[in-house]
Structure 1
């Protein structure tokens, strides 16, 4: 069964004859008659009662006419949806996300909804390596990644940069400084997650310390922020470094101080080549973000 056969069937039913249906369709009458006969053979029913004077629907034709109209309407809807997807007005964006910081992700989604209200967004939270692998495999259209300087076979677009904060005992002399010196902080044991847990962030901090002329003095590993801050408050002097996710925490006997450098950059990882329509909308939304970098 072909859609054109159903269109011819509906046209003959509407016009009450093969000749008028052919005129409406802009084809010869013999083509309409031939396709209607093929449709009847395939369905195993007679759709029209024919005579030399008139053509009218058979009982089977009357029953099948609403179904034919429904199929044609569904096909038209599918074409419209496909056209909207091709133009980017509608579709699905699969985006790998990072945690926080703050409400930036929500502001980004609001901006995206304003520019493409019929674009559906599916967010996935995955470990960094899995996020990048999913973009390479085409399972994600893009992924936000933090502190990643380069990713093989992918393009990275910086989208925003956040300051880093040092957490150290409130009674330590460096806590009196508004922006503690990194080289002096390095004299304290650093609570940093093992490199295998987050290679980009681990390298960002240790490279910054070495650039400041200090070799990292690694202390107990960073676990989670609250537990690590509690250990800094209660234990021997140590420090850690973190970025804001949902506001700065408050822990008694712990001072939080912004670092002059380094900062942490969040980038959008995409596959090389022309962006898909959903990805174009995402890039436009990010370009309109107040903290975004150059996404041209």
Structure 2
């Protein structure tokens, strides 16, 4: 499916006439017919009912029209922010990041580059406080941060929520369950990243344990997730908590905690940024 196909379909759906849609798009009418027909074949549904006298939307066409307009609006927003960045910062997005967001950053940048291949990205590690200061000073364009947040003078938009999972030895009695009660951590040595490395995750887990009525026994800090997974898989009575990812490690399973422990994720943007910039970044980096 191509953006062009969606644009052509929306034009025909709004004009209900291939000729007028072609005039509006400034292309030849056969091209419009060809692209809309290709879209129907790719989707496997009939979007338009055609006769020699009229064109009408089918029920499937009416449903797709809503989604097509939404998709095109998101594409336009991404292009708008890319143009804004290109005009102001030589096509460079200066983005603050936080631990554990590598895949989200990669996906969001790829979405923006789909429409602006020349866009370059400069990533900056740092704490929430450091990112806020950099945004206020104009040293960053945006930042992705995890955890509850209160900021002044900045836009803060919640984009996602990460449900934390416990990583257990595969032979643990609760490993076969769909969810694992958080009290299981009371019987294991809990290994977490050092608080200085990931304070949001560290605090969220300890608060959840305290709310469940116990204080976990903390083991060695996790400095390498890969090494920690190997050690847990070797049968030690240890566990760790994080985003649901075992990295292909053997001998371990990742299960969501019960009650759920969630960490919110936010986009931070200086208030001087325009609404199109905000909307485009939400479309790129949100779920």
TM-score, L = length of structure 2: 0.59
Q: Secondary structure of 1:174's match? A: coil
| Cross-structure match for 2:215 | 215
Matches within 5 A, 1:8-23: none
Distance of aligned partners of 1:152 and 1:196 in 2 relative to their CA distance in 1, 3 Å threshold: farther
Select the residue among 277, 280, 284 that pairs with 2:279: 284
| Cross-structure match for 1:4 | none
| Cross-structure match for 1:266 | 265
Consecutive unaligned residues of structure 1, counting only runs of 5 or more, are: 1-83
| Cross-structure match for 1:126 | 125
The Cα RMSD (Å) is 3.1
Q: Secondary structure of 1:196's match? A: coil
CA offsets per residue over residues 41-93 of structure 1, 9 Å max, x none?
xxxxxxxxxxxxxxxxxxxxxxxxxxxxxxxxxxxxxxxxxxx99x9373333
Conserved in 1, the CA contact under 8 Å of 2:109 and 2:284?
no
| Cross-structure match for 2:45 | none
**What CA distance in whole angstroms lies between the structure 2 residues aligned with 1:120 and 1:137?**
22
Q: Secondary structure of 2:256's match? A: strand
Consecutive unaligned residues of structure 2, counting only runs of 5 or more, are: 1-79
Distance of aligned partners of 1:239 and 1:112 in 2 relative to their CA distance in 1, 3 Å threshold: same
Conserved in 2, the CA contact under 8 Å of 1:154 and 1:269?
yes
| Cross-structure match for 2:247 | 249
Distance of aligned partners of 1:141 and 1:236 in 2 relative to their CA distance in 1, 3 Å threshold: same
Report which of the two structures shows the higher radius of gyration computed on alpha carbons. 1
| Cross-structure match for 2:231 | 231
**What CA distance in whole angstroms lies between the structure 1 residues aligned with 2:152 and 2:199?**
15
CA offsets per residue over residues 15-57 of structure 1, 9 Å max, x none?
xxxxxxxxxxxxxxxxxxxxxxxxxxxxxxxxxxxxxxxxxxx
Q: Secondary structure of 2:131's match? A: helix
**What CA distance in whole angstroms lies between the structure 2 residues aligned with 1:141 and 1:290?**
14
2:164 maps to 1:159: no
**What CA distance in whole angstroms lies between the structure 2 residues aligned with 1:291 and 1:178?**
27
**What CA distance in whole angstroms lies between the structure 2 residues aligned with 1:171 and 1:106?**
34
Distance of aligned partners of 1:96 and 1:281 in 2 relative to their CA distance in 1, 3 Å threshold: farther
Greater alpha carbon shift after TM alignment, 125-134 vs 146-155: 146-155
| Cross-structure match for 2:191 | 191
Give how far 1:161 is off. 1.8
Conserved in 2, the CA contact under 8 Å of 1:191 and 1:238?
yes
Matches within 5 A, 1:62-81: none
TM-score, L = length of structure 1: 0.58
Distance of aligned partners of 1:284 and 1:119 in 2 relative to their CA distance in 1, 3 Å threshold: farther
| Cross-structure match for 2:88 | 91
| Cross-structure match for 1:19 | none
Distance of aligned partners of 1:100 and 1:90 in 2 relative to their CA distance in 1, 3 Å threshold: farther
* Count of matched residue positions in the alignment of Structure 1 and Structure 2: 201
Q: Secondary structure of 1:197's match? A: coil
Distance of aligned partners of 1:253 and 1:142 in 2 relative to their CA distance in 1, 3 Å threshold: same
**What CA distance in whole angstroms lies between the structure 1 residues aligned with 2:109 and 2:277?**
9
Q: Secondary structure of 1:232's match? A: helix
CA offsets per residue over residues 255-287 of structure 1, 9 Å max, x none?
22123411222211234x3x324xx44421244
Give how far 1:118 is off. 8.8
Q: Secondary structure of 2:187's match? A: coil
